[in-house]
Structure 1
Amino acid sequence: MTIKVSVIGGTALVFDPSDCVILRKEHGITGVLTGTLPSAPQQSLLLGVPLRLSVEEVLYLYEHKAVEFVSPLGPGTSLESRNDSFFQTPDAAESAPMPDQELVLTKYVCGQKRDLDELYRTYCIFKTVKEKGHFTLPGLRFGGKFVSYPGDPLRYHSHFIINTKDFYSDRLDLVQLVKGGRLATGTKKMWLLAGEKGPGTRKKLALQVLNRETRTVCFSVEWAGFG
């Protein structure tokens, strides 16, 4: 079963609660709930649909043929009245023309304003962690790119803080190494430094980030006698 995703304002959103359940149970993807009630728009403790997906999560689902891009606008709705489209769900847009899937993905990826090489690196790391059975969430609050959980985040604490690195062209910052290791150990986690093993053919087309050979290598750092 494919997950219906609407791309609105450069953000990939899932509106159907049943799709959110399938994402979590069958694909190990949690996303981030962003919806709130019109009567209480500033509360942020109990958020609901739509579920926001990261670009890495979208690429993973697309590569596994588990995502279907749908129009966020219902039949007869024009772009000029897009304010009303927030209240449209994918079900309401079923009779609208189906957008070209590769075109939507290409525009979505290019609209992230991220270097494709860097995006490819983070996606390969995301996919490598996913293939180990882990869940990943944004790691900003822990100073990383991702945080990794050995199972559903509702049941487990995170085990890894993941940072990305281009091992071929970037130097290893020892200060960053010390800070990352101490931070992870102090929060009862392990710091994982992950990146590409060596140079590869640089592909600049959005869809080709899915076709480049995965060459990811990881190093774990633990600060002994601290925390």
Structure 2
Amino acid sequence: MLQEQAAISSAEVDVENCNYKMTIFICNGQFLIWNADDVLKLRQEHHIIGNCIGSLPWKPRQVIQGSLPLRLSKVEAAYLHERGFVSLKDGNEIDKNNFTPSRKQELKLSRMFQTTAQNTILKEQKATELDNLAPTIIRGMAEKHKQRVERTGDQVGSVKFDTFKEVEINKTFSRLEEHQWLEMPLTSSSYDELPGLTDYSFEFGEMEQLMYDVFCDLHHQGFYMTNACKFGGDFLVYPGDPVAYHSFYIAVCVPQNKKISGLEYSRYGRLANTVRKTLLICSKNDDGDVDYLSISWTGIAQSEEPKS
């Protein structure tokens, strides 16, 4: 099965994908994708989820939902590369001294433009807010003037609302440049100059190879998979996109010749039962096919179990 999939010719892949290949940047052993369209394409067409590890610009301290780049596991990256869906580039080769004077000037002008644009928008918002509060502000100013006259006898006229409004707007944005939001480009011309890795080889150890084979087999059956470290397994297995479905299985990859004690079976089963999932013990038989042993406590519903 896996051999048949691997035999897909590069010509067939190119025709199917209109000669377009997504780019994976390999940076310090991590496999990253920076193009948002590619991330969507991976999810919708290739059922590859990955893990967004960036922070959203409007909520930088959040931990629930990430932004670009998308980090792929070694297994996911190898799966895509073997089938010709992606090209690889060495992200470690970016020239850190490529900020020429013209590039620095370009960044400076970009920041000035962003500052001006944000000033304009925020001043308009502040002006609208003050105009909506104008009746309350004017009454308050009149009351303060009346109290000052009674207390000091000073007959100087009260501050006009337009003057007050101008002062408040200028006070609000006096430090905007220090706290403004900066638009950071996710792609750079430097990326285009990075060398391609045409002879890159994904080297797997015994367990990594088993995980790769299990991933390919489940993926071929139409399942989606994500990392299952937080559930004590290797993969969380979904019947559809994780956005719309809960995972059905926790897949644990075990070499065929490894002995599993009753205590380990109980531990795995109880863990899966606690989170309302079915445990899959995955291994390869002597014929090279992937076998599955499912374990579930009585009362846990099963459906769409992968074919052995």
Q: TM-score, normalised by structure 2?
A: 0.58
- Alignment partner of 1:4 is 2:23: yes
Match for residue 180 of structure 1? 268
Count of aligned residue pairs for this structure pair: 198
CA root-mean-square deviation: 2.7
Q: How does 1:53-202 map to 2 (within 5 A)?
A: 53-72=72-91, 77-78=94-95, 89=186, 92-93=189-190, 95-103=192-200, 106=201, 109-110=202-203, 116-168=205-257, 170-198=258-286
After superposing on structure 2, the runs of 4+ consecutive aligned residues of structure 1 that deviate more than 4 Å are 37-41, 87-91
Q: Deviations over 1:61-97 (max 9, x none)?
A: 01111011124379xx52578xxxxx77566346415
Which amino acid in structure 2 is aligned with residue 101 of structure 1?
A: T
Identity %: 25
Larger strand share, 1 or 2 = 1
- Alignment partner of 1:220 is 2:237: no
Is the 8 Å Cα contact of residues 277 and 300 (structure 2) preserved in structure 1? no
Which structure has the greater CA radius of gyration? 2
- Alignment partner of 1:47 is 2:47: no
Which amino acid in structure 2 is aligned with residue 116 of structure 1?
A: G
Which amino acid in structure 2 is aligned with residue 215 of structure 1?
A: D
Q: Deviations over 1:115-144 (max 9, x none)?
A: 611111000001111011000000011111
What is the rounded CA distance, in whole Å, between the counterparts of 2:260 and 2:61 in structure 1? 41
Match for residue 209 of structure 1? none
3-state SS of 2:189 partner? helix
Structure 2 unaligned spans of 5+ = 1-19, 99-183, 302-308
Structure 1 unaligned spans of 5+ = 82-86, 199-212
Is the 8 Å Cα contact of residues 71 and 93 (structure 1) preserved in structure 2? no
**Cα deviation, residue 43, structure 1:** 2.6
What is the rounded CA distance, in whole Å, between the counterparts of 1:126 and 1:31 in structure 2? 13
Q: CA 1:187–1:45 in 2, change beyond 3 Å: closer, same or farther?
A: closer
